[in-house]
Amino acid sequence: MENFGSYFIEPLGKIGQGGFGYVEKIKLYNSTMSPCGTFARKVFSPSSSVLAQVSKDDLKRRFIREAMYQSKCTHKNVNYICLLNKHADNPYFVMDLAVCDLASDITNCALTDLQKIEVVKMISQGILRIHNKGFLHRDLKPQNILRMPSGAYAISDFGLVKNTDSAANTTALTAIGQAMGTPRYMAPEILYNAEYSIKTDIFSLGKVAEDLNIQDDDFRQLIAGCSSMDEKQRYDSIDAFIQDVASLQVQRGVRHA
Ligand SMILES: Nc1ncnc2c1ncn2[C@@H]1O[C@H](COP(=O)(O)OP(=O)(O)OP(=O)(O)O)[C@@H](O)[C@H]1O
């Protein structure tokens, strides 16, 4: 059992490994050793291939920044971070434990057409929150969208998030970030000019929505307005897309939250 502040942490087993750290299931206890619940913990532990490209200190800063940015975006459609230990040798953060990611729901054909539309709406609300906080996610894909026990889908993995108001990214980290994005979800202007914007996140949303293979033709037209290869044809803001989805549903008499 480890101690952090007034909490005790009991590791319950590894869930998976990313390029910058591993994720494990943990049980959290308060100072009276009463259980607070099970959570996921991401622990800094960069792979040797990543360490060959960027210094450990830079990577540590990036890891801590990931947690700080994610915790600034508290919203039901953004994975919630409840603890951050920046001073440990291997920093870590504790977040809500997901059931699975959207990629596995797609693979398992687990969703009806109506549920898929609700998923797109939830992801859009999460992106709206991130953009309203002044960030770009830059790595939206089904693997980074988690299904929570409540049924809500929440955006995670802020490893490539950029603060649009600051020059927080070092050249090395930006380069490694670009190398790590997933081409299918990257707008053409990123591949040609390395230019990220609100519209490049909207493109990624469009590609995620395409992966869901929604059959509703009117909805598919709205999705095409996100995933257009021509950025001039794409939605300017996530809010405009959300409004169009809401208008479509109002026309059809669908009640929405
Ligand atoms: N909150 C969570 N609850 C449950 N599983 C999670 C949670 N966060 C991540 N995971 C899972 O843990 C594994 C590793 O996640 P991580 O985000 O480190 O991987 P990654 O996307 O490959 O990382 P990176 O982009 O940093 O290389 C993945 O299988 C992911 O689905």
Ligand 1 atom at minimum distance from 66 CA: 26
Contacts 24+ apart (CB under 8 A), 227-230: 227/203, 228/203, 229/187, 229/188
Q: What is the pLDDT of residues 95-110, one digit of tens each?
A: 999 999 999 999 998 8
End-to-end CA separation in angstroms for the chain: 42
Q: Any bridge partners for residue 95, and if so which?
A: 40, 81
Q: Residue 132: which residues within 8 A CB-CB, separation 6 or more? A: none
CA of 140 to the centre of ligand 1 (A): 13
Q: Could you give phi then psi for residue 161, rounded to 5 degrees?
A: -65, 140
25 Cβ below 6 A of ligand 1: no
pLDDT digits (tens, 9 = 90+) for 70-80: 999 999 999 99
What is the C-alpha to C-alpha distance for residues 84 and 70, in angstroms, rounded to an integer?
A: 11
Q: Cβ(224) to ligand 1 under 6 A?
A: no
Q: Is the CB of 40 under 6 A from ligand 1?
A: yes
Query: What is the spatial distance between Cα 49 and Cα 54, in angstroms, rounded to a whole number?
Result: 9
**Does the CB atom of residue 19 touch ligand 1 within 6 A?**
yes
Amino acid at 215: Q
pLDDT band, very low/low/confident/very high, at 161 (cuts 50, 70, 90): confident
pLDDT tens digits, one per residue of 105-151: 999 988 999 999 999 999 999 999 999 999 999 999 999 999 999 99
Closest residue by Cα to atom 29, ligand 1, is 16
| Contacting residues for 28 by C-beta, under 8 A, at least 6 apart | 7, 8, 9, 10, 35, 36, 37, 38, 39, 83, 94
Distance 45 CA to ligand 1 centre (A): 13
Q: How would you class 245 by CB atoms within 10 Å of its CB: exposed for 0-12, middle for 13-18, buried for 19 or more?
A: buried
Q: Name the residue of 12, 14, 15, 25 whose CB sits within 8 Å of the most ligand 1 atoms, as the mutation to test its pocket.
A: 15
Quote the ligand 1 centre to 18 CA distance (angstroms): 6
Give the confidence band of 6 by pLDDT, cuts at 50, 70, 90: very high
Q: Which atom of ligand 1 is nearest to the CA of 23?
A: 12
Band of pLDDT at residue 182, cut at 50, 70 and 90:
confident
Provide the token pair at 188: 């053409």
What distance in Å separates the CA atoms of residue 183 and residue 179, rounded to the nearest whole number?
Answer: 9
Find out whether the beta carbon of 156 lies less than 6 Å from any atom of ligand 1. Answer: yes
Give the per-residue pLDDT at 163: 77
Q: Which pLDDT does position 8 carry in this prediction? A: 97
CB of 18 closer than 6 angstroms to any ligand 1 atom: yes
Question: Which residues in 152-171 are b (16+ Cβ under 10 Å) and which e?
Answer: bbbbbbbbbbbbeeeeebee
Task: Compute, in angstroms, the gap from residue 95 CA to the centroid of ligand 1.
Answer: 11
Look at residue 176 and give its three-state secondary structure: helix
Q: Is the pLDDT of residue 168 over 60?
A: no
70 Cβ closer than 6 Å to some ligand 1 atom? no
Task: State the pTM of this model.
Answer: 0.92
Ligand 1 centroid–CA 198 distance in Å is 24
- Ligand 1 atom, smallest distance to 143 CA: 31
Q: Is 56 assigned a ligand-binding role in the annotation?
A: no
* Total Cβ atoms within 10 A of residue 53: 14
